[in-house]
Amino acid sequence: MDTWEDDSADQRTCLICGDRATGLHYGIISCEGCKGFFKRSICNKRVYRCSRDKNCEMSRKQRNRCQYCRLLKCLQMGMNRKAIREDGMPGGRNKSIGPVQITEEEIERIMSGQEFKDEAPEHTWGNNGDSDHSSPSNGASEGNQPSPASTLSSNRSVEMNGYTAALRDQYINTSMSTHYQLLPHLFTYAAQSGLLAPQPRSLYPQSHPLVLQLVGAEDLTPLTTPMLIEDGYRVTQVELFALLCRLADELLFRQIAWIKKLPFFCELSIEDYTCLLSSTWQELILLACLTIYSAQIFGDLADVTAKYTPSDDELQGFSEDGMEVMERLIYLFRKFHQLKISNEEYACMKAINFLNQDIRGLSNVSQLEQLNKRYWYVCQDYAEYKYPHQPKRFPEIMMCLPEIRCIAGKLVNVPLEQLPLLFKAVFFSCCFLVTCFLDLFITRQS
């Protein structure tokens, strides 16, 4: 790593996100976070997607929301992918290599993954260190495109790009300290690319106990917070806000209890768990509300919000941040409603989102990254086994995690007094969508 030779480093900012720069990394002035993100993206041949207009804001707080736009800006600002050492070890390949200006066509080839496909199949990259400690974007949200890329949907070992699908089996079955360099990073999903038609297969034997352990750590019993209101009672803004707070307390308590039951609880420090929970608790609660507790949240709680009538001042003062969160929540509800996430998939999604190796202040980043990838492969294996005729199911599930993280980040900007109106609007819209789905289903059946 290049470092500054004087105290001016503290005054310089990263050209990608505006965070404090630590030196020249791969040719441009950048922070440790963007340096690590760029290296992992190129070394792991990751392909991302932007769910918006490919012009997302890049700042220290927002950079993790869209990895497509973050990598795009890295390339546009001149980060030099050829300066990355081929062995994946820390340090640039050539300290004299500076920024590069590449054409739009070259950028598009990198962003689409075409550049990686054209490389020799025997060329491999390591992935040691250089993690982004400051941006919460783990394997699940490290891209709006799921990564690591899937291995082939088959119960046999299929050769592709110098790797084998059997390596995933080997990876799940081994200790965390071995075979890490052998992780397969294939370029595309076989079912999506048409290389292999999806066929029913058995679940990898190593995946089954890991999934059962995660599900066993969950409290799947109904929420106990009272949410029944007698007919005719008009709920006030204060009463609804108090109910939302009690629900959040119960859900947070369940997340704390969940951590203590995790199969890898003894492998990480209490300090790391505290850091992870303080950074992801909103995302975990949101994920739970959209999946395992959705019947209560979009049933009982929605009934309570229906008895609340906002004032004209509340309606007129509803913020743009609140409008954006509402739109995103409605979209996410529709997505989850279509996917019908199982308890097993939910448990894997939750673990992947929680094991976020890019949060600032963690002490054991490498182990977190390996744990994250272990459950990534387990989730993929289960989805391909359980839903063989839905080849896009796993990437669609993983695409929900960046959206959850984005919503959780934007919720903090919504004034507290607007939360009752926000949830009333979301529940009203979502219940209307469910009614439309049911009407359409009944119409088709008749």
What's residue 158's pLDDT? 31
Element (H, E) at 23: strand 23-25
6 and 62 Cβ atoms separated by less than 8 Å? no
Supply φ then ψ for residue 426, to 5 degrees.
Answer: -65, -50
188, burial (CB in 10 Å: exposed 0-12, middle 13-18, buried 19+)? middle
Omega of the bond prior to 263 within 30 degrees of 0, cis? no
According to DSSP, residue 234 is labeled: P
What's residue 263's pLDDT? 93
CA pair distance 258, 280, nearest whole angstrom: 13
76 and 107 Cβ atoms separated by less than 8 Å? yes
What's residue 235's pLDDT? 92
Residue 281, amino acid = W
CA pair distance 70, 111, nearest whole angstrom: 11
pLDDT tens for the chain, 446 residues long, are 444 444 443 457 888 988 888 888 888 888 888 988 898 888 888 888 888 888 888 888 888 888 899 999 999 888 888 888 655 444 544 444 557 778 888 888 888 888 777 654 433 333 333 333 333 333 333 334 443 333 223 332 333 333 334 434 444 444 433 333 333 333 333 334 444 455 566 788 888 999 999 999 999 999 999 988 888 889 999 999 999 999 999 999 999 999 999 999 988 899 999 999 999 999 999 999 999 999 999 989 999 999 999 999 888 888 888 898 999 999 899 999 899 999 999 999 999 999 988 888 898 888 898 899 899 999 999 999 999 999 889 989 998 998 999 999 899 889 999 999 999 999 888 876 555 444 444 555 55
348 and 211 Cβ atoms separated by less than 8 Å? yes
Q: Does the pTM exceed 0.85?
A: no
Indicate the SS3 state at residue 20: strand
CA pair distance 43, 125, nearest whole angstrom: 6
304 and 396 Cβ atoms separated by less than 8 Å? no
What residues have CB less than 8 Å from 50, skipping those under 6 apart?
56, 66, 68, 69, 144
What's residue 85's pLDDT? 67
Residue 276, amino acid = L
Residue 270, amino acid = I
- What are the structural domains, with CATH classification, of the chain? 7-117 (3.30.50.10), 207-445 (1.10.565.10)
CA pair distance 196, 36, nearest whole angstrom: 34
